[in-house]
A and B are shown apart, each in its own frame.
Chain A
Amino acid sequence: MKLKHAKSWYNRRARKIHEHELRRKRRRKAHAKTGSRSSQYSVSQRLNENIRKDQYSEIEAPIDFSIHRNAEKVLEFYESIEKQVQQGKPVFFRMENIHSFSADSIMYFLAFTRNLRKRGLSYSFRGDVPRDAKNRNLLEQTGFLSYVKSKRSDSITRSTEVVEIKEGSQTSGEVAKSFCDFVQAKLGYTLLKTRPLYEAIIELMSNTKHHAYADDNKEQIVKHWYIFARYEEDKERVRFVFLDTGFGIPATIQVRQGEQVRRMLAKLGLTSANDHFLIKSALDGEFRTRTRETHRGKGLPSVYKLSQKDYFQNFTVVSRKGFMAADMNRDMNKALNGSLFFWEMSKEERDNEKNH
């Protein structure tokens, strides 16, 4: 009797193990079709968590997923996502086909989700990561996976080649210092030679606080800045991205009468907004501060001067429809909600006395 009972227990147990294995195999097969489970992530706010995979609207990220190189396409991508969110639909970001990538588009994503939350919109996002190893590594290096739910986030080793995305709402000497320390370690700059970098980062943070957002904040925008840096060993340079997602420089500086007329005409589609001109004017230090206090408005021009002295190279500003770079100033057909600053520092320029 005892033996008979033991036999049936073993049979039941064997069947259970077999069924479990079958289920596991089926799951693996399904994941192989949709991309490995560990290479996916999700982030959601208040939308029903039990959404089936086939309910997600899939939106393909541009092949060049970089705001400073391909602003219009990236902004179009985010515009499509926002439309889906407004209709209460969950979204799947298809990023596996990205050929090139830069951190600015991911910083914009973080700011974008925070602003959706602030506006009380519910959303559910899922996505995959670039298939290409170089781009996948860069995505992981930004620290992006620590902002979303992902099985990979625990297993990622922190890279020493980047300063992960940092964000804040106040000026932070400690954050600015960490970027200076990074440049000293990677490019061999002395503390004295990173002083202009320190000062620029603090000015950009201050600018976020004072000018990037209207005082009443009716638009319900999260008043944050985001900053990231990456060392490129082969080119012996460090690339920086600084982003705030406020109203943007053209919308927050003092505009003159003629410019106001032009802005109204631009809204009607009768002329271009001329935002690149307003950005250049603000950076050149023409009296543009909304506070109308003559001792204010010195921050942005002091940052721009560093690019004119070649201390910063490839300095680029994108704000609203304005795009301003050393070799090209133009208005885009899409608007960036905020201001993006991009620049590089190189070992080559380290000992150049004229830029200090």
Chain B
Amino acid sequence: MRKTISIARDFSETPGGRYRKDGPDSGEEFREDVLIPNFKDISSGDRLTIDLDGGYGYPVSFLEEAFGGLARHYGSKIVLERLAFIANEEPSIVEQIKEYIQDAT
């Protein structure tokens, strides 16, 4: 089963900062309300695709908290295995996210 989440369509076109307390549409909010509920249903061998096209931008704090935070919860290896990314508009963002996942401590 392959499932796709578009951040711009399914969450916000204007992602915010790191934590909920920082303001609306934070990385923590995305991780807890959108990412984890979808990620936990992905079984081994399946992938959850994150579509990063569209939207005004993806701040470093947002990305680190969302994806690095997911890796701190499930472990870097599992997250890298079960996530796939679409970033036709800005391909370099995928490497950046993978770095946050690998470096998550």
Contact = CB atoms under 8 A, between A and B. Distances in A.
A202 B64 contact: no
A203 to B, nearest CB: 6
Contacts of A172: 16, 23-24
Nearest to A172: B23
A198 interface: yes
Interface residues on B, range: 20 to 34
Interface stretch (A31-39, A57-65, A293-301): A293-301
B12 A173 contact: yes
Contacts of B22: 170-171, 205-206, 209-210
Interface in B41-55: none
Interface centre among A176, A194, A197, A295 (most CB of B within 10 A): A295
Contact of B17 (A174, A177, A202, A294): A202
A195 B62 CA distance: 14
A199 B23 contact: no
A176 B62 CA distance: 14
A174 B24 CA distance: 10
Given A202-B62, A295-B68, A192 B89 contact: yes
B58 interface: yes
Majority-rule SS of A interface residues = helix
Contacts of B21: 209
A196 B57 contact: yes
Contact of B56 (A170, A194, A205, A209): A194
A309 to B, nearest CB: 12
Interface in B32-81: 56-62, 64, 68, 72
Nearest to B104: A295
Interface residues of A, number: 27
A173 B25 CA distance: 8
A171 B16 contact: yes
A93 to B, nearest CB: 33
Interface centre among A180, A191, A199 (most CB of B within 10 A): A199
A195 B60 contact: no
B14 interface: yes
Contacts of A299: 59-61
A196 to B, nearest CB: 7
A122 interface: no
B103 interface: yes
Contacts of B10: none
A199 B17 CA distance: 9
B68 to A, nearest CB: 5
Contacts of B100: 295
Contacts of A197: 57
Interface in B67-102: 68, 72, 89-90, 100
Interface in A113-154: none
A302 interface: yes
A173 B18 CA distance: 12
Nearest to A302: B60
Contact of A203 (B26, B60, B103): B60
A267 B47 CA distance: 57
Contacts of A205: 17, 22-23
Nearest to A197: B57
A299 to B, nearest CB: 6
A177 B24 CA distance: 14
A196 B58 CA distance: 8
Given A209-B22, A294-B105, A177 B56 contact: yes
Interface centre among B59, B60, B68, B89 (most CB of A within 10 A): B59
23 contacts: A171-B16, A171-B26, A173-B23, A173-B56, A191-B56, A194-B56, A196-B57, A198-B56, A199-B58, A199-B59, A202-B16, A202-B17, A202-B57, A202-B61, A205-B23, A206-B22, A209-B17, A295-B64, A295-B68, A295-B72, A295-B104, A299-B59, A302-B60
Interface of A: 170-174, 176-177, 180, 191-192, 194-199, 202-203, 205-206, 209-210, 294-295, 298-299, 302
Interface of B: 12-18, 21-26, 56-62, 64, 68, 72, 89-90, 100, 103-105
The 5 closest A-B pairs by CB, nearest first: A173-B14, A170-B23, A198-B57, A171-B23, A206-B17
